[in-house]
Amino acid sequence: MFEDNSATQNIVLEKTFSKEFTKPVQAVFEAWTNPKLISKWWGPHLFTTPICELDAEPGGTIRIHMKGPDGTIYPMEGVINEIDEPEKLSFTAKAFNENGDYFAESITTVTLANNEGKTKLTVTASVIDATPEAEGPLSGMEEGWKQSLDKLSKFLEKG
């Protein structure tokens, strides 16, 4: 269904985001690999995740449906390429519109590093395929990731 073709794929768009968290690496890793926790913070502000499934092992599946403030559902599904607890998670995912039509495929790589008891997180989102319909969603990718990481920070601070 999905393959890690990152070495052979052309990158359409790539963005890298970094953020530091006051929580230890293991806590941040858990927030990325436990679907019950992911569902609490994934997506931009005002978005929810009514479906959040993740099998945190190489070859495992990931399926997340984001629900926008207008009620539109944005499905994403993919496969875990690599997991090295608690330092790395990589997955390939396809995004679909509200009608279930494919519009983009990306590889997301999350790395975590201990920084004197805090955690430095780096997320690289590499879009490797996109249809013309992806232009709108991709134009908001940077802001969407920034808002998601802000939500992750708030979630971790509460816990």
Is 13 within the bounds of a domain?
no
Is 7 within the bounds of a domain?
no
Is 8 within the bounds of a domain?
no
Residues 27-70: pLDDT tens digits?
999 999 999 999 999 999 999 999 999 999 999 999 999 999 99
Q: Give me the mean pLDDT over the 69-77 stretch.
A: 95
Can you state the angle between helices 25-33 and 141-158, rounded to 10 degrees? Answer: 120
Is 12 within the bounds of a domain?
no
Give the DSSP letter of residue 67.
E
Is 3 within the bounds of a domain?
no
Is 103 within the bounds of a domain?
yes
CATH code at 148? 3.30.530.20
| pLDDT given for residue 9 in this prediction | 64
H or E segment and range at residue 114? strand 102-115
Give the range of the structural domain holding residue 67, as residue numbers without chain letter.
19-158
Residues 9-21: pLDDT tens digits?
688 999 999 999 9
Is 107 within the bounds of a domain?
yes
The amino acid that residue 108 corresponds to is T
Q: Name the domain count of the chain.
A: 1
